[in-house]
Amino acid sequence: MTETAVYLQPAFILQQQPYRESSLIIDVLTRDYGRISLIAKGVRKPKSKTANLLQAFVPLNISYVGKAELKILADVENIPPLPKLTGLALYCGFYINELTGYFLHQHDPHPEVYADYRHCLYGLDQNVTASRIEAALRIFEYGLLEHVGYGLQLEYDACNEQPIDPAKKYVFNSGQGLVEAAHGLYSGTTLHAIKRKEFTDPQVLSEAKRLMRTIIDSQMQGRPLKSRIVINQIINKL
């Protein structure tokens, strides 16, 4: 296998786990190479200077080398930081990490997902309102589904190919799409707003959350999102 060497690649850490006695395996979202896994050798040693740099939600430039499928982290450096996530926003960050890890295949480049991920982290700033956080999550979910091939047709009824009518209601049928129904859960107004990525209306936010959850769950085929469970527990305590 040919030696690979990548230098100063913009990246975010999605997940990490211990590896052997003193190392980590890190799951990383890169700008140009998609999601990759790397061995960070020796970073769990007491005197390691690299360990403090390997933090979630921190923009990094990474360099890595190797011939095997699992490459070796060679160098890492921080670049100007994003706002620090705390409280509910922090757990929402873990949610988008988990979602990205599930929907992106290894070594499948999606620079647009990297850009959307970075933008979403700005939207999760602890200084914004809960509705702004919800809007940031919905925009990220919608974009991620679009980029990986599970995007919604939000302009036409999947059954009769008529334009989505703001005055009508629709249901989502897995494998088919949005279909007009007298007692549908989603208004045509909401579907148009999702298409425009406009989430200022509370009803739009509520219906968009239900719709995105339905679509994501249908693609995950019963696999639970651990971060979503934690977020729901936090919200119920508020």
Q: Outline where DSSP puts E strands in 31-176.
A: 34-40, 60-66, 71-78, 169-173
Q: Is the pLDDT of residue 28 over 60?
A: yes
* Closest-CA residue to 149 (of 96, 205, 219, 222): 219
Question: Can you tell me whether residue 97 is helix, strand or coil?
Answer: helix
pLDDT class for 231, splitting at 50, 70, 90?
A: confident
Q: Is the pLDDT of residue 128 over 70?
A: yes
Tens digit of each residue's pLDDT (9 = 90 or more) over 139-149: 999 999 999 99
Contacts (Cβ under 8 Å, ≥6 apart) of 100 = 14, 29, 35, 113, 117, 144
Question: Tokens representing 133?
Answer: 């956080």
Q: How many CA atoms lie within 13 A of 173 on its CB side?
A: 11
* Closest-CA residue to 147 (of 191, 193, 114, 107): 114
The structural domains of the chain, ordered by start, are: 4-78 (2.40.50.140), 87-237 (1.20.1440.120)
pLDDT class for 56, splitting at 50, 70, 90?
A: very high
- Using the structure block, give the residue that is written with the tokens 């960070």: 40
Helix (H) or strand (E) holding 203: helix 202-220
Decide: 181 and 195 in contact? Cβ < 8 Å. no
- The pLDDT value recorded for residue 94 is 94
* Residue 75 phi, psi dihedral angles, 5° rounding: -160, 155
Q: Is 183 exposed, middle or buried (0-12, 13-18, 19+ CB in 10 A)?
A: exposed
| Mean per-residue pLDDT, 80-100 | 90
- CA pair distance 198, 139, nearest whole angstrom: 9
- The pLDDT value recorded for residue 129 is 84
Question: Tokens representing 173?
Answer: 């049928």
DSSP 50: S
- The pLDDT value recorded for residue 224 is 81
